[in-house]
Amino acid sequence: MHKVTLIKGDGIGPSIMDAAVSVIDASGVEIEWEEQHAGLAAQEQFNTPLPDQTLESIHRTRLVFKGPLTTQLGEGFRSINVAMRQEFDLYSNIRPAKSWNGIDSRYHDIDIVVIRENTEGLYAGLEHYIGIKKNIAESIAVITREGTERIIEFAFEYAKKNQRRKVTVAHKANILKFSQGLFLKIAREIAPRYPEIECDERIIDATCMHLVMDPHQFDVIVTTNMFGDILSDLTSGLVGGLGMVPGANIGHDAALFEAVHGSAPDIAGQNIANPVAVLLGGVMMLRHVGEDQAANRITHAVEQIIDEGKYVTPDLNPASRTGTDEMARAIIGAMD
């Protein structure tokens, strides 16, 4: 029996999380869900976006399955996603984007994994105004040797373990010579330790253009925090959109699984959000704890439902009237 802290989140969160949990429970794996709160929902209920009991639960279970959390724009509390990644030192964010037969996207056979440094860079939270008029603001990008070494090593180890052929280091060391320069320098030190894996270096802007023009040349991409955040939305767009791409946040002592997408306020409450991205986050969690059989059952069922194209949410088929809950029931029905 695995104990997992369950945070349903904001916006479309409760609906996609209920759907995903119903599928995971039907897969035969035994999980004791410990429901906790965070984000806007927690702010409203407990007057804090990250209650102590949520943190205590994660310290106990070390395993989190989380829906998206809303962060207000330019005001309000700091991102709770960023806060949790820092609190539990979840330094590695794995975001795999893979093509699906049943999805008619711009490209086929895409299989790109973005590995994003998850605790420092421009998201370190070091921001301030200069002067009382607040007409000047500064955000400091923190890049450390320790933080960079562990994410570059993680990317190469991931590539090795998963029979990947190439790691692309995406950076902006031509302009940000100190912070991005340090990231690239350390990548160049570590890459020769993995002679079996090709190391490719690319400036981030060119990386974006190449991803759109010819994505097949990419395999694993490792990059700093904000670049990874942006690139993984781009790679989601290559394989059917944000409704299809999961993310794992991995540290030495804890791991948190979610979707790449946010709380999607534009479609919240309509029962039309695609539950697959977060469900695939759940599949990554099952593999993380060695439940490969359940993970395979769910993956095959999702593949079947997407191939058939009948019980899929409108983001995948605009003519469809299938709801979030109905798609989950179809996936459960397709499990062998």
Give the active site residues.
Answer: 123, 172, 205, 229
DSSP bridge partners of 127: 139
Among 86, 207, 263, 322, binds ligand NAD (CB under 6 A): 263
The reply to whether 202 sits near ligand NAD by the rule CB under 6 A is no
The reply to whether 286 sits near ligand NAD by the rule CB under 6 A is no
Q: What are phi and psi of 237, to 5 degrees?
A: -65, -20
The reply to whether 315 sits near ligand NAD by the rule CB under 6 A is yes
Instruction: Count, in order, helices (H) and strands (E) of the chain.
Output: 11, 12
Q: How far apart are CA 59 and CA 122, in angstroms?
A: 26
**Least distance between ligand NAD and beta carbon 263 (Å):** 4
Residue 215 or 246: the one with the smaller Cβ distance to ligand NAD is: 246
Among 186, 258, 294, 334, binds ligand NAD (CB under 6 A): 258
Residue 264 or 283: the one with the smaller Cβ distance to ligand NAD is: 264
The reply to whether 306 sits near ligand NAD by the rule CB under 6 A is no
Return the C-alpha torsion angle 30, 35, 41, 46, nearest 10.
Answer: -170
Residue 318 neighbours by CB under 8 Å, 6+ apart: none
The reply to whether 191 sits near ligand NAD by the rule CB under 6 A is no
Of 56-115, binders to ligand NAD (CB under 6 A) are 68-71, 81
Which residue's Cβ has the minimum distance to ligand NAD? 262
Q: How far apart are CA 11 and CA 79, in angstroms?
A: 15
The site for ligand NAD, by CB under 6 A, has a size of 21
Which residue in the block uniquely carries the two structure tokens 């996207």? 105
The reply to whether 285 sits near ligand NAD by the rule CB under 6 A is no
Which stretch in 167-175, 179-187, 260-268, 284-292 sits in contact with ligand NAD by CB under 6 A?
A: 260-268
**Least distance between ligand NAD and beta carbon 185 (Å):** 30
Beta 198-203 vs 220-223: how paired, if at all? Answer: unpaired
Residue 120 or 315: the one with the smaller Cβ distance to ligand NAD is: 315
From 211, 283, 197, select the one nearest 244 (Cα to Cα): 283
Query: Taking a C-beta distance cutoff of 8 angstroms, is the pair 267, 12 a contact?
Result: yes
**Least distance between ligand NAD and beta carbon 79 (Å):** 6
**Least distance between ligand NAD and beta carbon 229 (Å):** 8
**Least distance between ligand NAD and beta carbon 16 (Å):** 6
Residues at the contact surface with ligand NAD, assessed by CB under 6 A: 12, 16, 68-71, 81, 242-243, 258, 261-267, 273-274, 277, 315
